[in-house]
Amino acid sequence: MQEILLSPDLVIRCLIGFAVGGLIGLERQKRMTEESSIGVRSFGLHSLFGMLGAYTYTVTANPVVLVYSIAISTILVMTHIIYKIFRTMRKGMTTSIVFALSFVLGTLVGLDEAPVAPQIIGPLSVLSMTVSFLVFLVLSFKQELSEAVQVITREEMISAVELGVLILFLWPLVPQTIQIGPILFPLFQTYLLIVILLGISFANYILVKKYKNRGPYFFGFFGGFANSEATVSSLTDFHVQTESRYTGRISLSVIFANLAMVLRNGFIIVLLDRELRLIQYFLVPLVILFIMGIVRMFYERRENEDEEEQEMSVRFVSPFEFGAAVRFAVIFTAVSLASLFLQEYFSEWGLVAAGFIGGFASAGAVVAVASQAFAAGTVSLSSAVFAVTIATTTSVFNKIIYAAAGDRESNLVKRVARDAILMGTGVVIYLILLGLGFIPLV
């Protein structure tokens, strides 16, 4: 008996069994004002009660204690519901629901399998702790959630449901790859990028709605980390829907997307090339693109002073557009197939050519492939340097294509082209110097 009481596994289960309910009770106790309200102790002991009943069942295989604990928990929950409805006359069932949930979380901890060293907790305990923390967050941000729901329109709600259906139902059905002749095409990657594009399109709408004039800037920068091409497609589509009234802000957001893309590519190289040989040569184009982007950003802000005074409106904008996603999918598929074909048949120089062509679809993918190949010793330093630099430069220039594909009739394409040329010219000169041998690759 003494050995059982001193078991580390049992002590950890008791602590977690109380904590998963006590965390929820902490939020409830802070929110409730009545002395009779249940709080940390009631919630924690309720979940601990469930843990002890379930753990006893796992040890003895006798369900009597577990059934007894379930019956007592049911009585406690029903008593609380009746008291709240008929004695306090208060509305809402949140406290009663999470009080019942605390017992279930404790039961999961008790039913958990013994952890295998070096782990100290099992998967069901991790699940219980995760759910407890999520419930705590949901309850803590009640006011914020209520305000958000009140301002959501019917169209926005339908758009969010469409995105959820696209992810939940199609995700398991899309194969990882399909064979197209000698090429193994990453079909799931294409589907994933479409989902990302639709997701950031919706995020763009929400950011603009919340932050008004600054919304596209946040979206451009953070969307550029995920996929700058998809971000620009979404921004262009947004520009068309707002009747081309905010050309300066959208072009500035494209600059933000390019800056984020350059920083992301540098991070990928550092992450994959642990010897940091490749990043030494990528620092030059990174600095050139970043400095020129910052310069263009400040000049663009000065040119847009009059436009900045106007408040950006999203009244006529749909938060969920398939048009930009379809255009992006077509371009990405064509470019990816050409890039894979070059890599398949032309080895190292095929990788360099793939850097040029693949940069039109996703520079991040090319940078990751080239960095991995160099780290594995399958390609030379010169091929890897040219591939990542060309892919990044092409990704700056490709914004012209994505902007033109979505909006040919406005001044946006001219501004995007001007910014891309100013940012990319210095890197092109750097590539020429590398090719002529003025900058040695050692």
234 and 375 share a domain? Answer: yes
Question: Within a domain: residue 173?
Answer: yes
214: DSSP letter = G
Each residue's pLDDT tens digit, 47-75: 999 999 999 998 888 889 999 999 999 99
217 and 267 share a domain? Answer: yes
Question: Within a domain: residue 353?
Answer: yes
Each residue's pLDDT tens digit, 177-214: 777 777 677 677 667 766 765 666 566 556 656 665 66
Spatial CB neighbours of 45, under 8 Å, sequence gap ≥ 6: 18, 21
Tell me how many domains the chain contains.
2
Question: Within a domain: residue 441?
Answer: no
Q: Which of 103, 122, 148 is the last residue of a domain?
A: 148
Question: Within a domain: residue 290?
Answer: yes
Name the β-bridge partners of 179.
Answer: 184
Neighbours of 162 (CB within 10 A): 15
The 10 Å CB-count burial string (b at 16+, else e) for 258-272 is: bbbbbbbbbebbeeb
- Among 29, 36, 39, 43, which residue's Cα sits nearest to residue 87? 36
382 and 394 share a domain? Answer: yes
Q: Which of 132, 148, 164 is the last residue of a domain?
A: 148
User: Kind and range of the H or E element at 291?
Assistant: helix 278-303
Residue 194 near residue 325, CB atoms below 8 Å: yes
133 and 182 share a domain? Answer: no
142 phi/psi in degrees, rounded to 5: -60, -45
The pLDDT of residue 318: 47
The pLDDT of residue 313: 47
**Omega of the bond prior to 63 within 30 degrees of 0, cis?**
no
196 and 89 share a domain? Answer: no
Residue 123 φ/ψ region, left for φ over 0, alpha for ψ in the -120 to 50 degree band, beta for the rest: alpha
Single-letter code of the amino acid located at 36: S
136 and 170 share a domain? Answer: no
The pLDDT of residue 309: 47
Spatial CB neighbours of 34, under 8 Å, sequence gap ≥ 6: 88
Distance of alpha carbon 421 from alpha carbon 410, whole angstroms: 19
The pLDDT of residue 46: 92
94 and 163 share a domain? Answer: no
Please give the residue range of the domain that contains residue 189: 152-436
Report residues of the chain scoring pLDDT below 70.
1-6, 31-37, 87-92, 117-118, 142-163, 165-166, 168, 183, 186, 189-190, 193-194, 196-215, 226, 300-340, 342-348, 408-410, 442
85 and 221 share a domain? Answer: no
The pLDDT of residue 213: 63
103 and 167 share a domain? Answer: no
172 and 52 share a domain? Answer: no
Question: Within a domain: residue 442?
Answer: no
Task: Return contacts of 275-281, CB within 8 angstroms, 24+ apart.
Answer: 275/375, 277/374, 277/381, 278/371, 278/374, 278/381, 278/384, 278/385, 278/388, 281/381, 281/385, 281/389, 281/434, 281/439, 281/441
Question: Within a domain: residue 167?
Answer: yes
293 and 315 share a domain? Answer: yes
Q: Which of 117, 148, 179 is the last residue of a domain?
A: 148
Question: Within a domain: residue 330?
Answer: yes
- Among 177, 160, 176, 180, which residue's Cα sits nearest to residue 168? 160
Token pair in block for residue 352? 């360099």
Question: Within a domain: residue 314?
Answer: yes
Distance of alpha carbon 249 from alpha carbon 229, whole angstroms: 17
109 and 169 share a domain? Answer: no
Q: Residue 218 class from Cβ within 10 Å (0-12 exposed, 13-18 middle, 19+ buried)?
A: middle
The pLDDT of residue 327: 59
Residue 307 near residue 287, CB atoms below 8 Å: no
DSSP 65-113: HHHHHHHHHHHHHHHHHHHIIIII-----HHHHHHHHHHHHHHHHHHPP
Q: Residue 206 class from Cβ within 10 Å (0-12 exposed, 13-18 middle, 19+ buried)?
A: middle
The pLDDT of residue 317: 42
